[in-house]
Amino acid sequence: MRKINPHDFTVARRGTSREINRQIALNLIRAHQPISRADLARLMNVRRGVASLLVSELLSENLIFEGALGESVGRGRRPTFLYIDSRERCVVGVDIRASRTYILVTDLVGRQLGAVSSFQTNRDVDTLIQELARRVKQILTDYNGCEGVGVSVPGMVEPTKGRVVHAPTLAWRDVNLRDPLAAALGIPVQIENSGKACALAQLWTTRSDVVASGNSVFVSVSDGVGVGIVVNGEVLRGRHNTAGEFGHVPLSIDGPKCSCGATGCWEAYVSNLATLSRYFGRDLSDPRPRDSEEAGFSVEDLIARARAGEAKALAALNSTARYLGLGLASIVNALDPARVYIGGEITTAWSLIEPIVRSALRERTLTEFGGATEIHVVPAEDHPRLRGAVALVAAPAFAAPMVA
């Protein structure tokens, strides 16, 4: 039962129910566009006049627009279809990783408008902000009406102040990222932890799929490991927005050193760097220069060799798969989610590693149903971290009013 907090609440006004119905209408138009007023009224189970009033409000605010005419039924007038108005309005998503930074432009409903671009991440914050601002400005010369920039960061974030509290793979602590970037761009900027951004992306792109399935978890395996948790249709944040840091839960206190400074963290076993270190037989986080093969070698290259049957590549990949399953078991035991989503470059090898991941999951879960938890792969080409960054800007327009 959801309780009302007597110390933190919003009193429902006379127009609250209308605001909620307005947001319901907006989300239904987004989910079913193109849609007529009559169909919208049927979906909302309200009289057509009520739906028409809500549509008029949304039209006046330029949130939707009228498009093509549909076919008439019987002798009635031809219906006018409604669409979310994403014309001349775009959103920029940015995914900062320890190795590279990626940029994506979409319209207001998340449709990709151009190719994803990237550049090498400079860990000096001021230099990175300058380079990122320059590139975003250059990209936006081809678009009009940017609503804002969303940024996913591989670390703990204080979103109200726009600061990165701690990002181990970037060696950042208490970094002011949002405000300097917004000042350099002249448009609003929102930032969020990459794991939470991925979870938000699933909520945003699949709509009812995630909510209807119950609680879910998104695990993003890349330069590090990010985890986002969805409970009752909302991203779990915790008191300081640091909930979900399963990447730094130890599998073994005597394990390899992690970027956070501790030893044996789950991330230290399954990140891209961990997999490559296992393949080359040495810790690639070591500051010593890499040789020519190590320097230009990626997880995708390792997966290609594994698919070609190279024993060493298969062994490295299989070890990562087992550790991935063991870590997932901890999440399942702790949270009992309805499903787990996995994203990142490792997913391109899913057909090779799935049996090992599932075997390790069953080995360490405490119940039979825990071992059978649904696992859904989100392909790397879907760019969940970038999609989540976009949703930071776009999704609030479709959110319901907050009422206790």
Instruction: State the pLDDT confidence band at 22, using cuts at 50, 70 and 90.
Output: confident
According to the model, what pLDDT value does residue 12 have? 52
Q: Considering the domain boundaries, does residue 11 fall inside one? A: no
Residue 201 CA to residue 392 CA, distance in Å, equals: 9
Output the pLDDT for position 403.
Answer: 42
**Which of 136-145, 293-302, 350-359 is least confident?**
293-302
What pLDDT is attached to residue 139?
95
For residue 232, tell me if it sits in a domain: yes
Q: Binning pLDDT at 50, 70 and 90, where does residue 131 land?
A: very high
Give CA–CA dist 319/298, Å, rounded: 17
Q: Sheet of 374-377: strands edge to edge?
A: 234-235, 225-231, 216-221, 339-344, 374-377
Average pLDDT over residues 307-328: 97
- Of 84-98, 138-152, 327-341, 342-356, the one with minimum mean pLDDT is 84-98
Strands 163-167 and 156-158: antiparallel
Give the end of a domain, one of 84, 104, 125: 84
20 and 153 housed in the same domain: no
Based on the fold, state whether residues 166 and 94 are members of the same structural domain: yes
Q: Assess whether 187 and 45 both reside in one domain.
A: no
Residue 2 lies in a domain: no
pLDDT band at 10 (very low <50, low <70, confident <90, very high): low
Q: Is residue 5 part of a domain?
A: no
Same domain for 95 and 79: no
Query: How many domains is the chain partitioned into structurally?
Result: 3
Reading the block at residue 336, the tokens are 């009992």
State the pLDDT at residue 197: 95
CATH number at residue 209: 3.30.420.40
pLDDT per position as a tens digit, 220-257? 999 999 999 999 888 999 999 999 999 999 999 899 99
**Is the model more confident about 109 or about 265?**
265
Proportion of the chain above pLDDT 70, given as a percent: 88
- To which residue do tokens 């350099």 refer? 184
Is 404 inside a domain boundary?
no
- On whether both 205 and 252 belong to a single domain, the answer is yes
The percent of residues in the chain predicted with pLDDT above 90, rounded, is 62
Residue-level pLDDT at 182: 97
Mean pLDDT of 349-374: 97
pLDDT number for residue 67: 78
Cα–Cα distance between 316 and 320 in angstroms, integer?
A: 6
State the distance between the two ends of the chain, measured CA to CA, in whole angstroms. 13
CA angle at 209 for the pair 88 and 111, rounded to the nearest 5°: 20
Residue 346 sits in the same domain as residue 372: yes
Q: Which of the pair, 340 or 14, is modelled with greater confidence?
A: 340
pLDDT in the model for residue 1: 45
- 186 & 215 share domain: no
pTM for this predicted structure? 0.85
User: Does 205 score more than 80 pLDDT?
Assistant: no
What is the pLDDT, as a whole number, of residue 89? Answer: 82
Query: Does residue 118 lie in a domain region?
Result: yes
Residues 52 and 102 in one domain: no
pLDDT number for residue 288:
64
Residue 6 lies inside a defined structural domain of this protein: no
| Same structural domain, 108 and 174 | yes
In contact, 321 and 356? CB cutoff 8 Å: yes
Residue 5 has pLDDT above 60, yes or no: no
- Mean confidence (pLDDT) of the chain: 87
Q: Give the domain CATH number at 37.
A: 1.10.10.10
Residue 375 falls within a domain, yes or no?
yes
207 and 347 in one domain? yes
Residue 123 sits at φ, ψ, to 5 deg, of: -75, -10
Asked if 206 and 155 sit in the same domain, the reply is no
> Which range (165-169, 289-293, 307-311) has the least confidence?
289-293
CA atoms within 13 A on the CB side of 177: 35
What value does the mean pLDDT take over residues 313-325? Answer: 97
The boundaries of the domain holding residue 188 are 90-198+387-398
What is the spatial distance between Cα 94 and Cα 104, in angstroms, rounded to a whole number?
7
Residue 75 shares a structural domain with residue 125 = no
Question: Of 5-9, 135-139, 194-198, 252-256, where does mean pLDDT reach its minimum?
Answer: 5-9
3-state secondary structure the chain: CCCCCCCCCCCCCCCHHHHHHHHHHHHHHHHHCCECHHHHHHHHCCCHHHHHHHHHHHHHCCCEEEEEECCCCCCCCCCEEEEECCCCCEEEEEEECCCEEEEEEEECCCCECCCCEEEECCCCHHHHHHHHHHHHHHHHCCCCCEEEEEEEECCEEECCCCEEEEEHHHCEEEEECHHHHHHHHCCCEEEEEHHHHHHHHHHHHHCHHHHHCCCEEEEEECCCEEEEEEECCEECCCCCCCCCCHHHCECCCCCCECCCCCECECHHHHCHHHHHHHHHCCCCCCCCCCCHHHHCCCHHHHHHHHHCCCHHHHHHHHHHHHHHHHHHHHHHHHHCCCEEEEEEHHHHHHHHHHHHHHHHHHHHCCCHHHHCCEEEECCHHHCHHHHHHHHHHHHHHHCCCCCC
pLDDT of residue 167: 96
